[in-house]
């Protein structure tokens, strides 16, 4: 008898989980509240710890048609544009971490995952289906009613604003970080001239930073700025006020200010979820942002959701007749890893937004350590293979 798996949420975490379980011979039903697959934002960075997993799911041939592998990441001053340090990527990333560092349009990644899932008989995507945060027994009944399958395991991958997480004892709603992300896509002119072609650039300034990278191989450029900001509605698609953005970048290099002024921005409140319960009952588990949303300063939120997905499938394979044991093993493996990655993001935030004496120490540290040491510092993060 094939194990039956229910996944709530067809984001990057949910779809990766669905595919990983389907490849193990499970029957998977995915329940998504939207009417179709919906990407949140345009571009995404996929570090080698994520691309290695996607390769294991046989997606590299498809994804490589869409993604771009930057030669490196340049960290530069937002005022002088001086390069502070450089992280070698491209062929160096493939060699050092045995997998590429890639940037891609989220839509291409979501569709590659969903298409691969549809190739597995018995696996179904149910759109327009909201799964309410009930107790486990009621959820099992509901999912059986919708799909005809009574799941052996329910995976909630319902994102940062997970109502399931909020309903669990010991959990609290996602917390606003005090920062917002501004996102835009633009044509390659202007901003791309500020660093060598094919590279990613991160410009640093007091309290704010700006990340730019090619949007896959489309020729467009993805811009993400993080600044302090007000808590707005918990939604992803609010139009950003260019005057407010310009205010945060006062004193920055005029070339950056000019490039910012040319784009149409959307502004997103940044929330995070810390120290929550990751499970309910004996067969319900949370993964990805639902369990542990983090601010994007290490560009690892989706990578963690992808790692969760394959680790959970691996634990289930070992303890398939005992979902509660599989969930216990999963959380024991994943919680320390996620905590460490979150701390790395917190450190990046401190370094990226430094001013005064902290900024001087940061710049000196970059100078003394150099690109090789910077890369070596990331071995534990990018060289990790979940589910291996």
Ligand X SMILES: Cc1cc2nc3c(=O)[nH]c(=O)nc-3n(C[C@H](O)[C@H](O)[C@H](O)COP(=O)(O)OP(=O)(O)OC[C@H]3O[C@@H](n4cnc5c(N)ncnc54)[C@H](O)[C@@H]3O)c2cc1C
Contact residues toward ligand X (CB under 6 A) are: 8-14, 31-34, 38, 40-41, 44-45, 130-131, 157-160, 163, 181, 183, 224, 268, 270, 288-290, 296, 299-303, 305
Shortest Cβ 182–ligand X spacing (Å):
8
Shortest Cβ 172–ligand X spacing (Å):
17
- Using the minimum distance from each CB to ligand X, give the nearer residue, 39 or 322: 39
Long-range contacts of 169-174 (CB under 8 A, 24+ apart): 169/277, 170/276, 170/277, 171/273, 171/276, 171/277, 172/276, 174/234, 174/271, 174/272, 174/273, 174/293
- Using the minimum distance from each CB to ligand X, give the nearer residue, 54 or 302: 302
Token match 């997993």: residue?
53
- Using the minimum distance from each CB to ligand X, give the nearer residue, 286 or 351: 286
Q: Would you say 154 and 299 are in contact if contact means Cβ atoms under 8 Å apart? A: no
Shortest Cβ 68–ligand X spacing (Å):
13
Report residue 354 CA to chain centroid gap. 24
- Using the minimum distance from each CB to ligand X, give the nearer residue, 130 or 234: 130
Shortest Cβ 162–ligand X spacing (Å):
7
- Using the minimum distance from each CB to ligand X, give the nearer residue, 10 or 245: 10
Q: Where are the beta strands (DSSP E) in the chain?
A: 4-8, 27-31, 43-46, 72-77, 83-88, 102-105, 124-126, 153-156, 175-186, 200-205, 208-214, 221-228, 238-239, 266-272, 279-280, 284-286
- Using the minimum distance from each CB to ligand X, give the nearer residue, 45 or 171: 45
Shortest Cβ 64–ligand X spacing (Å):
18
Distance CA 347, CA 237 (A): 28
Shortest Cβ 11–ligand X spacing (Å):
2
In the complex, residue closest to ligand X by CB: 11
């Amino acid at each position: 008898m094939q194990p039956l798996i229910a996944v709530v949420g067809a984001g990057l975490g949910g779809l990766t989980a669905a595919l990983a379980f389907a490849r193990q011979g499970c029957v998977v039903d995915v329940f998504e509240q939207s009417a179709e697959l919906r990407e949140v934002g345009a571009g995404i960075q996929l570090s080698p710890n994520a691309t290695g997993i996607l390769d294991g799911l046989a997606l590299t041939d498809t994804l490589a048609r869409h993604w771009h592998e930057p030669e490196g990441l340049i960290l530069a001053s937002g005022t002088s544009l001086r390069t502070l340090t450089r992280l070698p990527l491209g062929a160096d990333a493939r060699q050092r971490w045995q997998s590429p560092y890639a940037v891609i349009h989220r839509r291409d990644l979501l569709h590659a995952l969903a298409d691969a899932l549809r190739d597995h008989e018995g696996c179904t995507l149910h759109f327009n289906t909201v799964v309410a945060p009930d107790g486990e027994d009621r959820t099992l009944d509901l999912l059986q009613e919708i799909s005809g399958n009574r799941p052996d395991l329910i995976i909630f991958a319902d994102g940062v604003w997970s109502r399931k997480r909020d309903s669990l004892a010991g959990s609290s709603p996602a917390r606003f970080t005090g920062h917002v992300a501004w996102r835009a896509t633009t044509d390659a002119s202007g901003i791309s001239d500020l660093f060598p072609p094919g590279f990613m650039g991160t410009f640093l300034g007091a309290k704010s930073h700006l990340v730019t990278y090619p949007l896959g191989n489309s020729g467009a450029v993805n811009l993400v700025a993080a600044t302090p900001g007000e808590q707005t509605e918990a939604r992803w698609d609010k139009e950003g006020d260019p005057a407010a953005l310009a205010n945060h970048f006062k004193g920055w290099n005029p070339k950056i200010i000019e490039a910012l002024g040319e784009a149409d921005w959307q502004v997103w409140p940044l929330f995070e979820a810390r120290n929550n319960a990751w499970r309910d009952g004996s067969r319900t588990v949370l993964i990805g942002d639902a369990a542990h949303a983090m601010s994007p300063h290490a560009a690892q939120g989706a990578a963690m959701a992808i790692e969760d997905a394959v680790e959970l499938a691996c634990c289930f394979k070992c303890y398939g007749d005992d979902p509660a044991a599989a969930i216990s093993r999963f959380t024991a493996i994943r919680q320390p890893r996620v905590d460490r990655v979150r701390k790395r993001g917190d450190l990046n935030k401190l370094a990226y937004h430094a001013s005064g004496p902290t900024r001087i120490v940061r710049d000196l540290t970059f100078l003394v350590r150099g690109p090789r040491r910077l890369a070596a510092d990331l071995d534990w993060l990018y060289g990790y293979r979940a589910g291996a």
